[in-house]
Amino acid sequence: MSLLEVRDLAVRFPARTGRPASRPVDGVSFSLDRGETLALVGESGSGKSLTGLALLGLLPPPGELDPASRVTVSGVDLRTLDGPGWRRLRGGIIGTVFQDPAASLDPVHSAGAQVIEAIRAHRPVATGAARRQAAELFAEVGLEPDRLDAYPHQLSGGQRQRVMIAIALAAEPDLLLADEPTSALDVTVQAQILELLDRLQARRGLAVLLITHDLAIVAGRADRVAVLYAGQVVESGPAPAVLDAPSHPYTRALLAAIPRLDTADPVRPIPGAVPRPHAWPTGCRFHPRCDVAFDRCPLEAPTVSRSGPGRETRCWLAVEAP
Ligand code: SF4
């Protein structure tokens, strides 16, 4: 069994005054093994961050997991978790790095105190021993020991993200969930943080679930990729194969929208916007933006079909391909 098994994950929001019911995540399936990196990719509103929050039991109210969702992490079935169980899962099994370290760190406590708190939340460790462990974690993420006593406002953006990574690793999780871990950082710091995550994964044998809108950081980093659109996985497979020869028009459109220095081809933005979850389009949810849509697309939702070794695609053209 894989470290993380996700089958038919759905997140639903009940109808409220002035707002109809919705399913912003609608039947997402994937798996992740130890030492492997899976990238969940899509635009804002595709459902990728809600998928991550659902795995952590942190859905914004009144959002809830559809009871038909089947998710196990390190053999733990999420449906069996109570309050303490969720707290053990968060940090103890899944370490998390979010986009904005400034918003995630507590401004009134030093960086070291927050790492020590994360260590002691999962193990009964004396304060002195926890401080030594925090210093070791700081060394592992490339921070000098004197930064333990610094407050978040005294750290750069890159240093704050290193602190967040130290906190995520404090309880030695099996899986690191990194949700847009570099989006708030400038380009050179982005590269340093991504290299750090790569090193830590290799050293600790971590599984990494990388949630990103940026296909450029997926290349050369992820083993597999799952592309989300309108709450569903529309294409999945080994990352090199999907990025070299995408089989879904949405994946092709995402790749064409990336600025590149090695080609004179113009950047082509994807027309239109991701639809709202309470009003998914009929048929194929991508059809209003798809440049190869045909008469069947608005009428019938495409089924998922094999599109190569280890690859699946949710598109009528893949079904009809020879
Ligand atoms: Fe485009 Fe039709 Fe394929 Fe949807 S099913 S991605 S609209 S060609």
Res 184: pLDDT: 79
Residue 320 pLDDT > 80, yes or no? no
DSSP string, 47-108: SHHHHHHHHTT-PPTT-EE-TT-EEEETTEEGGG--HHHHHHHHHHTEEEE-S-HHHHS-TT
Res 261: pLDDT: 66
Res 310: pLDDT: 95
- Report strand pairing: 94-97 vs 175-179: parallel
This prediction's pTM: 0.94
Q: Atom 8 of ligand 1 has which residue's CA nearest to it?
A: 293
Res 321: pLDDT: 59
Mean pLDDT of 129-140: 96
Enumerate residues lining ligand 1, CB below 6 A.
249, 284, 286-287, 290, 292-293, 297, 302, 315-317
Residue 265 pLDDT > 80, yes or no? no
Mean pLDDT of 195-206: 94
Query: What pLDDT band is residue 322 in, cutting at 50, 70 and 90?
Result: low
The CA 319 to ligand 1 mean position distance, Å, reads 10
Contact present, 73 and 95 (Cβ < 8 Å):
no
Mean pLDDT of the chain: 93
Rounded to the nearest 10 degrees, how much is the dihedral formed by the CA atoms of 277, 281, 283, 284? -70
Place of tokens 């109570």: 82
Tell me which residue of 29, 6, 11, 36 sits closest to 21, measured CA to CA: 11
Measured from the CA of 302, which atom of ligand 1 is nearest? 5
The CA 314 to ligand 1 mean position distance, Å, reads 8
**Distance from C-alpha of 211 to C-alpha of 19, rounded to nearest angstrom:** 27
Query: What pLDDT band is residue 104 in, cutting at 50, 70 and 90?
Result: confident
The CA 294 to ligand 1 mean position distance, Å, reads 7
Residue 231, Cβ neighbours under 10 Å: how many? 27
